[in-house]
Amino acid sequence: MNVPNTNNDAEIRTTDQLKTTISEVVHTQKITDIHTHLFSPPFNELLLWGIDELLTYHYLIAEVFRKSDVSYQQFWSMTKAQQAELIWQTLFIENSPISEACRGVVTTLNELGLDVGSRNLQDYRDYFADTTVEDFIDTVFESANVSKVVMTNDPFDPAESPVWESGDTGDTRFEAALRMDVLINSYEDTAYEHLRGLGYEVDPILSSEKSYKEVRRFLETWIQRMDPKYMAVSLPPDFQYPDDGVLGRLFDNCILPISREFNVPFALMIGVKRAVNPQLKMAGDGTGKADLSSLEALLRENPDNKFLVTLLSRENQHELCVIGRKFKNLMIFGCWWFMNNPSVIEEITRERIELLGLSVIPQHSDARILDQLIYKWKHSRQIIADVLVEKYQSILDVGWTLTHSEIERDVNNLFGGNFERFLNGN
Ligand code: FIX
Ligand code: ZN
């Protein structure tokens, strides 16, 4: 017997109804963006926004050198406004802006109601000059339909310190993530001295019980100060675990115990080769395929720890899904950086849903400039919706029934529910 449906829970029978429902649900569902490089207003100049920032995004800097004769030295000696003008002229006027990073600028301007057909950079600059950052945050969060964004907070960055010392990060839509690249990847070069300077009694190679205790004390202090959603690190493709060096000692004696004790997951972003071309500065990082047996060992040997993982190499993505099937303490998230392109997002999202169903966090934005929330989410939402249509259609075709509220439940989990449950579960 068919259970009668209320209007709100209409049964979906046809492909048209399915497409309309998914499009409506995917576009109206608010998103928790679990990894960005955005900052709330009290962080002042760390919060980047506006057309010149948008145009000088490091993804576009990498592209401009391929099409312009400008030398590295000339480019880096320009002001930000001059760099933005060069990028605009080269990538948007002298060439059509169809790379994903270029297209993102066009989508963003259009969504902000600006006339992209005019190609008038000055008009775009005027628009931003007439806007306050607080108003613009509201505009962007509304346009992207995002409810929360997780920042990337470096406890070693002096530019962030005043805000953490003040205890007030302002707008609560911005939440913290405790980033540990300096601690983990530069312990001997940078972190050790810094910690000593702050009065932590650590030794240069982190080899004593006393040092472990002191690093744990440092982490505890920052967890209390930031109330982070998770701790995070980016790692090179040759990352290994177990490890008898500083990284292994930090993981086993400091980070993993603290992560368990405070129920703060550890996010691993694996596969970045930093400074493949140092001349490009932040745009000069590359990617490499990782050996995921290290990740398997980490998950197996630390079953009471929770790990969020994203990988930078396309070649690793299928293997990661298989690992996800083996370890419930792993939450796979996002299409990171060079993966954040339509063809790859589509492939990875399909692969993940086929192997893991709805138990993943399909995307994060990695936005560095506030405005980018608009295009990154607009582009990704469309792809996620298309993959969902295909997957739901395949069960409708063989007689499964679906309702509007079931699709709402599923999309809600993908866009925030899975993250919250993973954080709050034991
Ligand atoms: O390590 C990271 O969090 C990376 O996302 C960034 O460092 C990278 O520069 C980036 O912006 C990628 O989208
Ligand atoms: Zn990032």
Tokens read off for 358? 């709805």
Please give the C-alpha separations between residue 106 and each of 97, 121, 368, 375, in angstroms, as whole numbers. 8, 12, 17, 9
For 188-207, the pLDDT digits (tens) are 999 999 999 999 999 999 99
Ligand 2 centroid distance, CA of 400 (Å): 39
For residue 376, pLDDT beyond 70: yes
Rounded to an integer, the average pLDDT of 243-260 is: 98
**What CA–CA distance (Å, rounded) separates 244 from 295?**
16
For residue 382, pLDDT beyond 80: yes
Q: What is the DSSP string of 143-206?
A: HHTEEEEE--B-TT-TTTHHHHHHT----TTEE--EE-HHHHHSIIIIIHHHHHHTT----TT-
Question: In the prediction, which pLDDT does 9 show?
Answer: 87
Ligand 2 centroid distance, CA of 16 (Å): 37
**What CA–CA distance (Å, rounded) separates 318 from 307?**
18
Contact 156, 190 (CB under 8 A): yes
Other beta carbons within 10 angstroms of residue 196's beta carbon come to 14
Please give the C-alpha separations between residue 407 and each of 111, 144, 241, 346, 411, in angstroms, as whole numbers. 26, 20, 39, 19, 6
Q: What is the DSSP string of 323-336?
A: HHHH-TTEEEB---
Ligand 1 centroid distance, CA of 21 (Å): 34
Tokens read off for 333? 């998230």
Look at the block and give the residue holding tokens 């490890």.
Answer: 243
Percent of the chain having pLDDT more than 70?
A: 98
pTM equals: 0.97
Pocket of ligand 1 (CB under 6 A): 37, 152, 234, 269, 282, 337, 366, 368
232 CA closest ligand 1 atom index: 3
For 89-102, the pLDDT digits (tens) are 999 999 999 999 99
Contact 345, 383 (CB under 8 A): yes
**What CA–CA distance (Å, rounded) separates 369 from 37?**
8
Residue type, 329: N
Rounded to an integer, the average pLDDT of 330-351 is: 98
**What CA–CA distance (Å, rounded) separates 284 from 368?**
16
Rounded to an integer, the average pLDDT of 231-250 is: 98
For residue 379, pLDDT beyond 50: yes
Confidence band, pLDDT 50/70/90 cuts, at residue 7: low
For residue 6, pLDDT beyond 90: no
340 CA closest ligand 1 atom index: 13
Average pLDDT of the residues of the chain: 97
337 CA closest ligand 1 atom index: 13
Ligand closest to Cα of 34 equals: 2
**What CA–CA distance (Å, rounded) separates 313 from 261?**
32
For 258-291, the pLDDT digits (tens) are 999 999 999 999 999 999 999 999 999 999 999 9
Helices (H), 4-47: 15-28
Which residue pairs, CB below 8 angstroms and at least 24 apart, start in 392-396?
392/12, 392/18, 392/22, 393/15, 393/18, 396/12, 396/13, 396/15, 396/18
- Please list, in sequence order, all residues whose beta carbon lies within 8 angstroms of the beta carbon of residue 232, skipping any fewer than 6 positions away: 35, 152, 177, 178, 179, 180, 266, 267, 268, 269, 308
Pocket test for ligand 1, best of 33, 34, 35, 37 (most atoms within 8 A of CB): 37
**What CA–CA distance (Å, rounded) separates 367 from 379?**
13
